[in-house]
């Protein structure tokens, strides 16, 4: 075991001595960046021993600068190593490497240094790095070890043999320094920018094998300043080097630097694309079905600690498709376990909803509903082509990784078809669903400091801005506050942006300084102020996607709500579509507002106009849909009788009939302050 | 909206420079700067009018999918990409050539070496800045854009086309070899903005991006493109810095529409020219800084029509000085 701390001290001393003894001219050929690390850190273009010592002092005796000056002095003295070693990589080659890093065909870079005792371990590490689209640089005895073990090295194999000693590790640093200057706009001499660039962008790590000399240890340890973790499977102790079993080294390095490999093709025997999303699978085409009230079934996505999720692992517990009779209905539990440093429990339901989308991407797989109501089918056609239940798991695992690369580091899927087990787990799943409902239901606007915007519809309603709060989902009903929050985390440049609500201007109208500021900007100056909880003064704009429209009915001093699915006439004398045509397009129309169904049940529902108590009419379709939840809410408000006082088209379609009905049932709106 | 409106200076479309002279490491005789406007197009003289628009003639390295009307018109030139490019500048009077590497769009394309050769040939044959379009197939993008970028290193070409789901290779090439790029989104202002932000995150400076809002063909959706161009210009002038970029427009399917394809051979040229002309002319009015056409006759007609738009607003050369170097 080599003690790192002691080696560092003696390594530094050696470097100091050698720097002091340095003589003659110094420099690399085929680069516009002099000695790249030194140039980037100090802004000084070193060309001889004197200027090298000056730069070394200017860098605060950086071991990387010392290592580089010494290496370049060796070059200038003609000490360049020949084949197979590449030594200093010229700018033209580097530009290509940088290109591949930016364009993603190289996922990251790794340095393997030292002289491994176990050739198989070294070869396994390099193979894994090749498979993971990493470009691997090699420094020291490891190159000979690999070539003797029959591993081919060279740029074309993505295994670059830098040099025969550990000192060649300095070229790993000069590559990062040049990429920062070429691609990252880092100016020579701006050491802070360089370090920031490395911290944010350098997807790099080092794996150190035993046998490094003290000064080599010092130079490699110096790489840590560039946010490069140093992992070691054996041979070193102490210092800041991270000990890992060699089998885990690559995964650990990738995880620490957030290096992710993009999966491109999904390895299953059926096509998988959004093109298949809208299909349905009829009974005659179906080979087998799961759930759909014919057998117990559910789906559950859970966040797990990283060590409990084995990425890509798919397991089927119970009968596989080959064991099932054609046309049968089978129980199914779809368990998706995900892990990721930035994953949160709150994301679970949102990601779980994607199971639906993804399974429908399959050419011969179909999915409807959610949670413990799911219904899944597979076609005869794809089963004949070899699609098994496990393939649904592979599809899900791949799609989750592809679609949420920044969120999810690992996904494993378990598909249970064994009836007893599915039934046993169902209770547990239901408890989790309930818990989630409570978490979202319990969220209040005042509990958060940030709302979210949605400008997805600016394509056709140029100045429309939705503001989404925990108690007011987007008017389309498709995006809740949590969805928007996650959408922002997944796509920070996307249509959902955080809105700091800022100082409260009016608690009843729901006007906030920060919201107004945001809306003004996002509406390109068209809208100055927005009331989140009202419809008469500066209501929110409407795009055209609203689930429902709420409008005032001045004659009866009440609010009517009409949903998109209702095609008939309303007491206002307009159908939904006529009404929609007059209020959409991103305009603020006092007295009219586009809303989601969910908002009707919110405590913040048009509170500036007395909320739900002011509602006098809605189509029976909508009333039925909301029935249970609305009755519960009214019960809580101690006005259970209100439900029956809200008219629908079966009692009144004209304003006269409505007025008569409201008078008869003594609707509270009649006694409220006038709306106009 | 990442930058505040500055009433002192007024909001302007960012200037993007294309081409590089020998002094700047390239071989172009002149550099074009596009953008710079602080108002809507053709509203009069003065620096707020920005730089003059540019007309590009589109050519290709593999003519199999090119319009037979154009091929008939250019004759033997179609078989010699370099000569075709040279003629675009000298004979046909275009400001610049837009070279499509259509060869890369053939199934199973793998002759990557030819890209570098053709690129060098076209660079050698031309004097003005170039627009170059690579592959549209993610599987080969990486190799294609590297080859093109490398072969044109130093020339500061306008490289196309980056899209939301495949922009990395184009951006990498622009970064590595010092080019500008075309960022295309499908007639959607939000996506245009988002793509600019994504490109910014790769490290590409904003003054190297030209927006392509996608131009539908006349009679086949052009009006949507027109209003998106107008809106991009409008919000940019209102202070949306992420959209304050020059725009490029090419009604790329103009010569494939039924009316042109099935036109009487006697009048086919005329029909083709009109179809391209009205889209390009309208795009200029909507705010496009670079318009691209394929029929040489359209270039001539646009040349004739431009002064009428610019009447009284000739402005740009005086305001910005001589742009040729």
- Asked whether residue A214 falls in the same domain as residue A338, the answer is no
Task: Tell me the three-class secondary structure of A407-473, residue by residue.
Answer: CCCEEEEEEECCHHHHHHHHHHHHHHHHHHHHHHHCCCHHHCCEEEEECHHHHCCCCCCEEEECCEC
- Asked whether residue A568 falls in the same domain as residue A598, the answer is yes
Q: Comparing B139 with A86, which gets the higher pLDDT? A: A86
**Rounded Cα distance, A26 and A39, in Å:** 13
Those residues whose C-beta lies under 8 Å from the C-beta of residue A424, and which sit 6 or more positions away, are none
Alpha helices in A33-157 (DSSP H): 36-42, 49-58, 63-76, 91-103, 119-131, 142-148
Indicate which CATH number applies to the domain containing A587: 3.40.1470.10
Q: Which of A95, A96, A103 to mutate to test the interface with B (most CBs of B within 10 A)?
A: A103
- Asked whether residue A86 falls in the same domain as residue A215, the answer is yes
**Rounded Cα distance, A371 and A561, in Å:** 30
Nearest Cα neighbor of A41 from A165, A225, A220 is A225
Q: Do B172 and A99 touch (CB under 8 A)?
A: yes
- Asked whether residue A219 falls in the same domain as residue A289, the answer is no
Angle at A403 between CA B216 and CA B182, to 5 degrees: 35
Res A487: pLDDT: 81
Q: In angstroms, what separates the C-alpha of B239 from chain A's closest C-alpha?
A: 8
Res A16: pLDDT: 96
Report the Cα–Cα distance between both ends of chain A, in Å, rounded: 85
The chain B residue lying nearest A495, using CA atoms, is: B190
In this predicted structure, the answer to whether residue A582 has a pLDDT above a threshold of 90 is no
Range A309-325 average pLDDT = 94
Least confident window among A243-247, A404-408, B210-214: A404-408
Residues of B in contact with A101 (CB under 8 A): 172
Res B318: pLDDT: 45
The chain B residue lying nearest A463, using CA atoms, is: B235
Q: Taking the mean position of all CA atoms in its chain, how far away is CA A429?
A: 25
- Asked whether residue A217 falls in the same domain as residue A315, the answer is no
Those residues whose C-beta lies under 8 Å from the C-beta of residue A580, and which sit 6 or more positions away, are A544, A546, A549, A564
In this predicted structure, the answer to whether residue B317 has a pLDDT above a threshold of 60 is no
Domain assignment of residue A593, yes or no: yes
Nearest Cα neighbor of A301 from A402, A393, A363 is A393
Q: Do B171 and A104 touch (CB under 8 A)?
A: no
- CATH 3.30.70.520 correct for B16-35+46-320: no
Nearest Cα neighbor of B154 from B6, B251, B22, B324 is B22
> Does A196 lie at the interface with B, CB-CB under 8 angstroms?
no
Q: In angstroms, what separates the C-alpha of B173 from chain A's closest C-alpha?
A: 6
Domain final residue, candidates A256, A285, A316 = A256
- Asked whether residue A373 falls in the same domain as residue A483, the answer is no
- Asked whether residue A507 falls in the same domain as residue A561, the answer is yes
Of A183, A522, A524, which is closest to B203 when you measure between CB atoms? A183
Domain assignment of residue A429, yes or no: yes
Res A530: pLDDT: 96
- Asked whether residue A452 falls in the same domain as residue A536, the answer is yes
The chain B residue lying nearest A99, using CA atoms, is: B172
Of A96, A105, A493, which is closest to B197 when you measure between CB atoms? A493
> Does A344 lie at the interface with B, CB-CB under 8 angstroms?
no
Strands A134-139 vs A108-113: parallel, antiparallel or unpaired: parallel
- Asked whether residue A238 falls in the same domain as residue A303, the answer is no
Angle between helices A170-183 and A91-103 (to 10 degrees): 70
Range A300-326 average pLDDT = 94
Percent of chain A with pLDDT over 70: 98
**SS3 label, residue A243:** strand
Q: Do A102 and B146 touch (CB under 8 A)?
A: no
Query: Omega before A84 cis (within 30°)?
Result: yes
In this predicted structure, the answer to whether residue A596 has a pLDDT above a threshold of 80 is yes
A/B interface, count of CB pairs below 8 Å: 72
Range A564-578 average pLDDT = 90
Q: Do B176 and A183 touch (CB under 8 A)?
A: yes
Task: Determine contact, residues A533/A607, Cβ cutoff 8 Å.
Answer: yes
Indicate which CATH number applies to the domain containing A407: 3.30.1650.10
Res A275: pLDDT: 60
Q: How many CA atoms lie within 13 A of B50 on its CB side?
A: 33
Output the average pLDDT for chain A: 91
Residues of A in contact with B176 (CB under 8 A): 95-96, 98-99, 102, 182-183
Tens digit of pLDDT for each residue in A124-137?
999 889 878 899 99
> Does A493 lie at the interface with B, CB-CB under 8 angstroms?
yes
**Entry field: residues in chain A:** 676
**Rounded Cα distance, B24 and B154, in Å:** 8
Least confident window among A177-191, A445-459, B15-29: A445-459
Those residues whose C-beta lies under 8 Å from the C-beta of residue B274, and which sit 6 or more positions away, are none
In this predicted structure, the answer to whether residue B216 has a pLDDT above a threshold of 60 is yes
- Asked whether residue A187 falls in the same domain as residue A239, the answer is yes
Output the average pLDDT for chain B: 90
**pLDDT-based confidence at A577, cuts 50/70/90?**
confident
Of A103, A455, A524, which is closest to B142 when you measure between CB atoms? A103
Strands A108-113 vs A204-208: parallel, antiparallel or unpaired: parallel
Tens digit of pLDDT for each residue in B60-113?
999 999 999 999 999 999 999 999 999 999 999 999 999 999 999 998 899 999
Range A322-330 average pLDDT = 95
Least confident window among A69-73, A246-250, A417-421, A484-488: A484-488
Report the Cα–Cα distance between both ends of chain B, in Å, rounded: 35
Q: In angstroms, what separates the C-alpha of A201 from chain B's closest C-alpha?
A: 10
Domain assignment of residue A535, yes or no: yes
> Does A265 lie at the interface with B, CB-CB under 8 angstroms?
no
Task: Determine contact, residues A528/A542, Cβ cutoff 8 Å.
Answer: no
Res A459: pLDDT: 66
- The B-side interface with A (CB below 8 A) comprises 1, 141-142, 145-146, 149-150, 168-169, 171-173, 175-177, 188-191, 194, 197-198, 201-203, 205, 231, 234-235, 238, 240
Q: Do B173 and A99 touch (CB under 8 A)?
A: yes
Domain boundaries, chain B: 16-35+46-320
Domain final residue, candidates A230, A256, A282 = A256
Domain assignment of residue A261, yes or no: no
The structure tokens listed for A158 are: 């993505």
Q: Do A459 and B188 touch (CB under 8 A)?
A: yes
Q: How many structural domains are present in chain A?
A: 3
- Asked whether residue A483 falls in the same domain as residue A337, the answer is no
Q: Taking the mean position of all CA atoms in its chain, how far away is CA A312?
A: 18
Task: Write out the E strands in A209-339.
Answer: 230-232, 236-237, 242-243, 286-291, 297-303, 314-317, 328-330, 332-339
Res A460: pLDDT: 67
Tens digit of pLDDT for each residue in A154-169?
888 889 999 999 999 9
Q: Comparing A133 with A337, which gets the higher pLDDT? A: A337
Q: Which of A32, A95, A96, A102 to mutate to test the interface with B (most CBs of B within 10 A)?
A: A102
**SS3 label, residue B175:** helix
Indicate which CATH number applies to the domain containing A26: 3.40.50.2030
Residue B166's DSSP bridge partners are B163
**Rounded Cα distance, A48 and A69, in Å:** 9
Burial of B244 per CB tally in 10 Å (0-12, 13-18, 19+): buried
Range B302-310 average pLDDT = 90
Domain assignment of residue A262, yes or no: no
Q: Do A102 and B176 touch (CB under 8 A)?
A: yes
Of A185, A493, A524, which is closest to B235 when you measure between CB atoms? A524
- Asked whether residue A378 falls in the same domain as residue A484, the answer is no
Q: In angstroms, what separates the C-alpha of A187 from chain B's closest C-alpha?
A: 14
Q: Do A183 and B198 touch (CB under 8 A)?
A: no
Tens digit of pLDDT for each residue in A391-414?
999 999 998 988 787 788 899 999
Residues of B in contact with A490 (CB under 8 A): none
Range A639-654 average pLDDT = 96
Q: Taking the mean position of all CA atoms in its chain, how far away is CA B324?
A: 19
Percent of chain A with pLDDT over 90: 68
In this predicted structure, the answer to whether residue A262 has a pLDDT above a threshold of 90 is no
Range of the domain at A333: 274-441
Strands B96-100 vs B54-60: parallel, antiparallel or unpaired: parallel
Least confident window among A235-239, B8-12, B213-217, B231-235: B8-12
Of A100, A183, A525, which is closest to B238 when you measure between CB atoms? A525
Tens digit of pLDDT for each residue in A5-49?
999 999 999 999 999 999 999 999 999 999 999 999 999 999 999
Q: What is the DSSP string of A281-309?
A: --GGGEEEEEETTSS-EEEEEEE--GGG-
């Amino acid at each position: 075991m080599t003690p790192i701390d002691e080696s560092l001290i003696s390594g530094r001393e050696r470097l100091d001595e050698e720097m002091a003894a340095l003589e003659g001219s110094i420099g690399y050929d085929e680069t516009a960046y002099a000695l790249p690390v030194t140039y980037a850190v100090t802004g000084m273009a070193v060309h001889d021993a004197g200027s090298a010592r000056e730069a070394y002092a200017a860098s605060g005796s950086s071991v990387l600068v010392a290592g580089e000056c010494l290496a370049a002095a060796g070059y200038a003295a003609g000490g360049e190593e020949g084949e197979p070693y590449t030594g200093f990589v010229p700018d033209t080659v580097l530009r290509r490497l940088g290109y591949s890093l930016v364009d993603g065909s190289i996922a990251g870079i790794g340095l393997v240094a030292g002289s491994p005792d176990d050739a198989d371990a070294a070869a396994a590490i390099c193979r894994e790095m090749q498979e993971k689209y990493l470009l691997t640089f090699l420094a020291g005895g490891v190159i000979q070890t690999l070539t003797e073990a029959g591993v081919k090295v060279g740029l074309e194999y993505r295994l670059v043999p830098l040099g025969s000693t550990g000192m060649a590790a300095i070229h790993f640093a000069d590559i990062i320094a040049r990429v920062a200057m070429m691609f990252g706009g880092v100016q020579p001499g701006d050491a802070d920018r360089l370090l920031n660039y490395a911290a944010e962008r350098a997807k790099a790590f080092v794996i150190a094998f035993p046998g490094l000399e003290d000064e080599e240890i010092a130079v490699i340890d110096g790489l840590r300043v560039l946010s490069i973790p140093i992992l070691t499977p054996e041979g070193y102790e102490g210092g800041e080097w991270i000990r890992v079993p060699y089998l885990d080294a690559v995964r650990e390095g990738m995880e620490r630097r957030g290096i992710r490999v993009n999966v491109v093709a999904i390895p299953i025997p059926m096509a998988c694309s959004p093109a298949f999303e809208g299909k349905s699978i009829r009974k005659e085409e179906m080979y087998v079905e799961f759930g759909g009230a014919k057998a117990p079934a559910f789906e559950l996505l859970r966040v797990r600690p990283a060590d409990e999720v084995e990425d890509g692992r798919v397991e089927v517990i119970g009968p596989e498709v080959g064991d099932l009779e054609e046309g049968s209905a089978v129980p199914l539990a779809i368990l998706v376990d995900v892990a990721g440093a930035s994953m949160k429990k709150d994301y679970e339901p949102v990601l779980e909803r994607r199971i639906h989308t993804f399974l429908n991407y399959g050419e011969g797989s179909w999915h409807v509903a959610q949670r413990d109501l799911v219904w899944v089918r597979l076609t005869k056609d794809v089963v004949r082509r070899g699609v098994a239940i496990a393939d649904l798991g592979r599809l899900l695992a791949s799609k989750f990784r592809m679609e949420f690369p920044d969120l999810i580091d690992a996904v494993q899927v378990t598909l249970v078809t064994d009836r007893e087990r599915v039934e046993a787990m169902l209770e547990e799943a239901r408890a989790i669903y309930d818990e989630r409902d409570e978490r979202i239901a319990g969220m209040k606007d005042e509990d958060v400091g940030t709302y979210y915007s949605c400008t997805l519809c600016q394509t056709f309603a140029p100045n429309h801005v939705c503001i989404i709060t925990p108690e007011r989902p987007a008017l389309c009903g498709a995006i809740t506050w949590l969805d928007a929050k996650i959408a922002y985390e997944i796509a920070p440049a996307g249509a959902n942006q955080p809105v700091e609500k800022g100082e409260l201007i009016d608690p009843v109208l729901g006007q906030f300084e920060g919201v107004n500021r945001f809306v003004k900007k996002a509406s390109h100056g068209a809208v100055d102020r927005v009331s989140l909880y009202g419809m008469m003064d500066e209501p929110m704009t409407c795009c055209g996607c609203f689930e429902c429209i709420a409008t005032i009915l001045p004659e009866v001093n009440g609010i009517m709500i009409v949903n998109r699915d209702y095609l008939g006439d309303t007491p206002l004398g307009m159908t939904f579509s006529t009404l929609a045509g007059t209020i959409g397009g991103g305009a603020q129309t006092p007295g009219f507002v586009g809303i989601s169904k969910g908002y009707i049940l919110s405590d913040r529902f048009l509170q500036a106009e007395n909320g739900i108590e002011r509602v006098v009419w809605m189509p029976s379709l909508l009333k039925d849909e909301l029935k249970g939840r609305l009755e519960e809410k009214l019960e809580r408000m101690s006005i259970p009788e209100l439900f029956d006082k809200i008219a629908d088209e079966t009692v009144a379609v004209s304003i006269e009939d409505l007025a008569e009905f409201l008078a008869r049932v003594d609707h509270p709106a009649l006694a409220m302050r006038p709306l106009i | 909206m990442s930058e505040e409106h500055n009433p002192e200076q007024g909001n302007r479309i960012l200037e993007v420079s294309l081409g590089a002279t020998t002094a700047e490491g390239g071989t172009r005789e002149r550099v074009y700067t596009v953008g710079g406007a602080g108002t809507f197009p053709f509203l009069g003289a003065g620096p707020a009018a920005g730089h003059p628009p540019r007309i590009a003639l589109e050519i290709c390295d593999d003519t199999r999918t090119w319009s037979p009307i154009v091929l008939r018109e250019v004759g033997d030139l179609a078989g010699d990409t370099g000569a075709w490019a040279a003629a675009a500048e000298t004979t046909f009077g275009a400001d610049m050539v837009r070279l499509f590497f259509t060869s890369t769009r053939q199934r199973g394309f793998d002759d990557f070496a030819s890209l570098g050769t053709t690129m060098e040939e076209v660079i050698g044959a031309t004097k003005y800045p170039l627009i170059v379009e690579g592959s549209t197939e993610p599987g080969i993008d990486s190799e294609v854009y590297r080859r093109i970028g490398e072969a044109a290193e130093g020339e500061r070409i306008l490289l196309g086309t980056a899209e939301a789901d495949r922009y990395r290779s184009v951006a990498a090439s622009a970064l590595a070899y010092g080019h500008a790029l075309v960022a295309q989104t499908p007639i959607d202002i939000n996506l245009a903005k988002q793509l600019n932000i994504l490109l910014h995150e790769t490290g590409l400076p904003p003054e190297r991006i030209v927006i392509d809002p996608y131009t539908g063909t006349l009679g086949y959706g052009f009006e949507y493109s027109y209003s998106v161009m107008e809106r991009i210009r409008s919000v940019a002038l209102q202070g949306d810095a992420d959209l304050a970029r020059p725009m490029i427009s090419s009604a790329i399917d103009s010569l494939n529409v039924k009316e042109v394809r099935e036109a009487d051979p006697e009048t086919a040229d005329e029909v083709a020219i009109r179809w391209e002309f009205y889209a390009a002319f309208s795009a200029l009015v909507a705010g496009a800084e670079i318009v691209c056409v394929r029929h040489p006759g359209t270039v001539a007609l646009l040349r004739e029509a431009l002064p009428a738009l610019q009447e009284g607003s000739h402005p740009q050369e005086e305001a910005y000085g001589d742009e040729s170097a």
